[in-house]
Amino acid sequence: MAGAAAAQPGGPVAAPAPGPTRAVKALLAVAMAAVGVGFGAMFFARVEPPRETAPRARQLSTQLDTLCFVDANGDDAPDPVLWQDGKTRGRVVAIDGRSGQGIWASQELERPDALACPDLSTVLAGGENTTLHALDARTGKARWAASLPGVPDEVAGGEGCATVVMKDGAATGIKLEGGEVADCPTAPQPSAITGHFWERKKNPQVVHVGDVEVALTAPTEGPPRLTAEGRRGGTSLWKKELPAHAPRSGGRPDLFLVASGGAAIVLGIDAVGGNELRIIALDPASGASRYERAAGYLGDRLVAAKAAGPYVYVVSGAAVSGAALRAIDPATGDTAWRATAPLSP
């Protein structure tokens, strides 16, 4: 050890060497403090994880409200599909439903719009022109491109086919195998008002949890709080006012109700706090709240909420920065993950 002679076994203990002067001690203290700060900075820079689960550059952001599901990696679990970016151009992306990691991204499309998953192996996507693109759900690669009589707006899947509604309201059937135009009697019939925007405007919203039907209603006048009711075989089991009101877009309320984990999950705005989003899980048989969770981290704009597999998948965020995709555990209301974009197309 520097500054002291080593003791010899069995021999006399050597006298300690003279220590450093007070001036030298002061210089050593300053030097060690500087080195300590440097090592401390290196330690914390390397060990302290960022608050977000992924670098900001890789966090998935979308400007659109479309959300559907395929099996993109062969694990038999639903994998969300949505647009990345989406204002003037965007890519279709598939996200691992278990982890939130991006699986694949398609080639870029101008002014993306229509998006649907008519079956677990196919994604249909359209942009500003009359072309409809079919993508393979495992790779995101193009299978075929079909020219339609109009710009595609909404797509409803059937058995081996789909019905495509154009911007002008006309509809046509198309085969999923090769994109040939053909009637699709097994697809839902198109209506005059269709799409994700109008889907969340349905008032009331209704889901089935086991043998109980749960309905969520937003008042058209009077107090703005949401009301939930459970019914079995047409008989009302319970009815209660919730401590939340519906978000609004386009001048009308948006209702978000899904069935997941044996509960009816409601997403709304805190009726007391004002603007913060809340998640409420209701027992279908009694109407009792299993939990009520503040969810300000979801942002101030809620555009989609769908249940698939073990999670509730929520698309929400801010109007300026775009929306994120998150998976919510229905048993607790906790966030399981926030989606990250695929590394490359």
pLDDT at 98 over 70: yes
Instruction: Provide mean pLDDT across the span 58-79.
Output: 93
pTM above 0.85, yes or no: no
Structure confidence by residue, pLDDT tens digits, 288-315: 999 999 998 898 889 999 999 999 999 9
Least Cα distance to 132 among 87, 102, 159, 162 occurs for 162
Instruction: Provide mean pLDDT across the span 173-178.
Output: 95
Most confidently modeled range among 14-28, 63-77, 180-194: 63-77
Which residues make Cβ contacts (< 8 Å) with residue 232, sequence separation at least 6? 211, 212, 213
Q: Percent of the chain at pLDDT above 90?
A: 61
**Is the backbone peptide bond immediately before 204 cis, with ω within 30 degrees of 0?**
yes
Coil/strand/helix, residue 204: coil
CA 59 – CA 261 distance, rounded (Å): 27
Output b/e per residue, 254-271; b: 16+ Cβ within 10 A.
bbbbbbbbebbbbbbbbb
Q: Percent of the chain at pLDDT above 70?
A: 79
Structure confidence by residue, pLDDT tens digits, 205-234: 999 999 999 999 998 776 679 999 999 999
- Mean pLDDT score of the chain, rounded to an integer? 83
Give the pLDDT confidence score for residue 214 in this predicted structure. 98
Q: Give Cα 191 to chain centroid, integer Å.
A: 28
Structure confidence by residue, pLDDT tens digits, 151-162: 999 899 999 999
pLDDT at 131 over 90: yes
Which residues make Cβ contacts (< 8 Å) with residue 50, sequence separation at least 6? none
pLDDT at 6 over 60: no
Strands (E), 112-202: 115-119, 122-126, 131-136, 142-147, 152-157, 161-166, 171-175
Give the pLDDT confidence score for residue 191 in this predicted structure. 64
Give the pLDDT confidence score for residue 62 in this predicted structure. 92
Cβ-contact 128, 151 below 8 angstroms: yes
Element (H, E) at 31: helix 22-47
Question: Which of 8-22, 188-202, 226-240 has the lowest average pLDDT?
Answer: 8-22
pLDDT at 28 over 80: no
Instruction: Provide mean pLDDT across the span 71-81.
Output: 95
Structure confidence by residue, pLDDT tens digits, 242-269: 999 998 877 788 999 999 999 999 999 9
Specify burial of residue 43 (Cβ count, 10 A radius: 0-12, 13-18, 19+). Answer: exposed
Which residues make Cβ contacts (< 8 Å) with residue 304, sequence separation at least 6? 65, 66, 67, 196, 200, 313, 314, 315, 316
